[in-house]
Amino acid sequence: MTSVGGNGQKRFDIEKTVDVVIVGGGPGGALAAREFARGGVKTLVVDRRQEIGAPKRCAEGISNDGLLESGVQPHPAWTSGRITGAVLYSPSGKIVTVDDETAVGWVVERKVFEKHLGKDAIEAGAQYMVKTHIDQVLMDGARAVGVTGDFMGKSVKINAKLVVGADGIDSLIGRKAGLRGSVQKMRDFHSAAQYEMAGVKCDMTRLHLYFGGDVAPLGYVWIFPKAAGLANVGVGILTSKSKHGHRAIDYLDRFIAKHPEMFEKASPLEVNASGIPVSAGIRRFWGDGLMLVGDAAQQVNPIHGGGISLAMRAGVIAGQVGSKAIKEGDVSAERLSEYGRVWDEVHGKELARLYKFRMFMEELTDKDMERMADLVTIDVIVDLTYARFRSFAKLMLTKMPTMVPLLAKYLMAPGKKFEMEALEA
Amino acid sequence: MVVTVNPKVCVYCAGCVGLCPVESIELRETRLTILDSCTDCGICVKFCPVEALSGGRPLD
């Protein structure tokens, strides 16, 4: 309970003063915590969940490089499926298999994975509080100076020099601190449903992605295999396509019913849902005494909706910049803008290019996709995943020239004539 | 129509919380609450992957 003391100030049951409070102990928050702690500042993570890692809202796929990039070594306790490629299925069932060294990755056990990341942060010196619901950001003018909330019926106040919002798609920290861009937009938000199933029969060494207007409008169905016949089977559709009878879960159930060869003996062990930001990131994700990380900053790949490795990397950058800023005694928005600049170079610009490609993809008909399935090579697909458009543009130019106006519209700077040199990257 | 949540259907993914333009949905662990400040705009209803939400302005 919060009581009011003699001097008119609210008294809190639990009050702590730290250098940085990180709201949210997912992969982004945990990596931020590790880096802040390594940077030598007093770090506290608060998470509203009573169990770190559950429930998951995630297909659990991450590339091996994505782990290493943030200094996390794959560990058998949480790596479930080892993935060596992907199979793409066109609306009519044409198959494109993409096996590539850079596509090697894992389907992880989020419940164990997040705990391990938390353990790393704690061993680096961070502290954690779970089942702690934050509902306000303390502001001193425009500067965030802490958070308040509650822990099991006790009121909580955390004073901090820096507040990090790693609080997911429903980030409260961004909103409360005045970063209105953190509110999700229907246009850039996928509606997703998933079962984790046992008894799935498919090639368990590759991700399987199914496309088509009937399968998943402006999205796709995924099968992410884990170990021993387990798999995350899910669908994401653009929210604007979601309506009664055509919700994400409806598409998922229909897909499963349509594929007895894979699911005849399968049953769900979990049902999950989520919203997936596909905006490529909000413009301002820092402020005075404030940083947003991961889904809270919409740092998600807008083409495939993957966000674990991006959140982790953002957490690392935020922790490195933020801990320096705290030590220098300057946590102004200007000082913290270094986080934005580094992010732009590392991933931000690439995500912005992928966003343009998403806009292009959204205009494609099933027929266009069929034709592309006949034409694309592995090299072209790999290029696209890195937002390198040239090989794809060249292919369209020579084999599918009807696509050129669309390419010009979405992948080129406005007003430029279509020419290869004008394509970004 | 007033937006309501069916707790028997909700899988507490919090996507609706992120979309709500007026911060009128609160999630505590597994319990989703529509607050009085809800304007029944219907955005959350349109989004919900499992159709746990109903009411609001029809956007379909």
Distance, in Å, from the CA atom of A303 to the CA atom of A131, rounded to the nearest integer, reads 33
Claim to verify: residue A272 and residue A409 sit in the same structural domain: no
Q: Does residue A340 fall inside a structural domain?
A: no
Mean pLDDT throughout A195-214?
Answer: 96
Specify the pLDDT at position B20: 97
- Domain that includes residue A273, residue range: 81-105+186-277
Distance, CA of A342 to CA of A255 (rounded, Å): 41
- Identity at A51, one-letter amino acid code: E
- Alpha-carbon span A421 to A423, nearest angstrom: 5
Same domain, A166 and A294: yes
Contact A54, A111 (CB under 8 A): yes
* A235 and A120 part of one domain: no
Q: Establish if A192 touches chain B: CB-CB under 8 angstroms.
A: yes
- A271 and A156 in one domain? no
Helix-strand-coil split of chain A, %, nearest 5 = 40, 30, 35
Q: Tell me: do A294 and A317 sit in the same domain.
A: yes
Structure token pair of residue A37:
């702690």
Short-list A99, A141, A128, A156, CA closest to A32:
A128
Q: Are residues A160 and A31 in the same domain?
A: yes
What CATH number is given to the structural domain containing A42?
3.50.50.60
Answer whether residue A338 is part of any domain.
no
Helix or strand (DSSP H, E) at A312: helix A308-328
Encode pLDDT of A56-104 as tens digits. 999 999 999 999 999 999 999 999 999 999 999 999 999 999 987 766 8
Does a structural domain hold residue A354?
Answer: no
Rounded alpha-carbon distances, angstroms, from residue A103 to A68, A86, A381: 14, 8, 11
The three-point CA angle B13-B19-B21 to 5° equals: 140
Residue A268 falls inside a structural domain: yes
**Chain B residue whose CA is closest to A181:** B21
The last residue of one of the domains, among A245, A261, A277, is A277
Q: In this structure, is residue A192 part of a structural domain?
A: yes
Could you give the number of structural domains in chain A? Answer: 3
State the best of A173, A239, A240, A241 to mutate against chain B, taking most chain B CBs within 10 Å.
Answer: A239
Tell me the one-letter amino acid at B56: G
- A to B CB pairs, distance under 8 Å: 89
In the predicted model, what is the mean pLDDT of residues A243-252? 97
Instruction: Give the model's pLDDT for residue A413.
Output: 64
In a domain, residue A44? The reply is yes
Could you tell me if residue A265 is inside a domain?
A: yes
Question: B18 contacts in A (CB within 8 Å)?
Answer: 168-171, 183-184, 189, 275, 277
Q: Are residues A45 and A131 in the same domain?
A: yes
Centre a 10 Å sphere on the Cβ of residue A374 and count the other Cβ atoms it contains. 11
Residue A148 inside a domain? The answer is yes
Residue A420: pLDDT over 70? no
* Residues A30, A127 within the same domain: yes
* Domain shared by A124 and A231, yes or no: no
Question: A180 at the B interface (CB within 8 A)?
Answer: no
Distance, CA of B28 to CA of A254 (rounded, Å): 31
Cβ–Cβ gap A169/B14 under 8 Å: yes
Give tens-digit pLDDT for A139-187: 999 999 999 999 999 999 999 999 999 999 999 999 999 898 999 999 9
SS3 A89: strand
Q: Are residues A152 and A300 in the same domain?
A: yes
Report yes or no: A188 and A275 within 8 Å, Cβ to Cβ.
no
A128 shares its domain with A39: yes
Q: Are A272 and A320 in a shared domain?
A: no
Cross-chain residue pair A49–B21, CB shorter than 8 Å: no
Report the pLDDT value the prediction gives residue A6, as an integer from 0 to 100: 57
- The answer to whether A57 contacts chain B (CB < 8 Å) is yes
The pLDDT tens digits for A400-409 are: 999 989 988 8
Residue A425 confidence (pLDDT): 46
Q: What structural domains does chain B harbor?
A: 4-52 (3.30.70.20)
For residue A106, what are the CA distances in angstroms to A194, A204, A262, A414?
18, 11, 21, 39
Q: Flag whether pLDDT at A419 surpasses 60.
A: no
pLDDT of res. B29? 87
A22 near A32, Cβ under 8 Å? yes
Q: CB of A234 within 8 A of CB of A305?
A: no
Chain A within 8 Å of B51 (Cβ-Cβ)?
yes
In this prediction, the answer to ipTM > 0.90 reads: yes
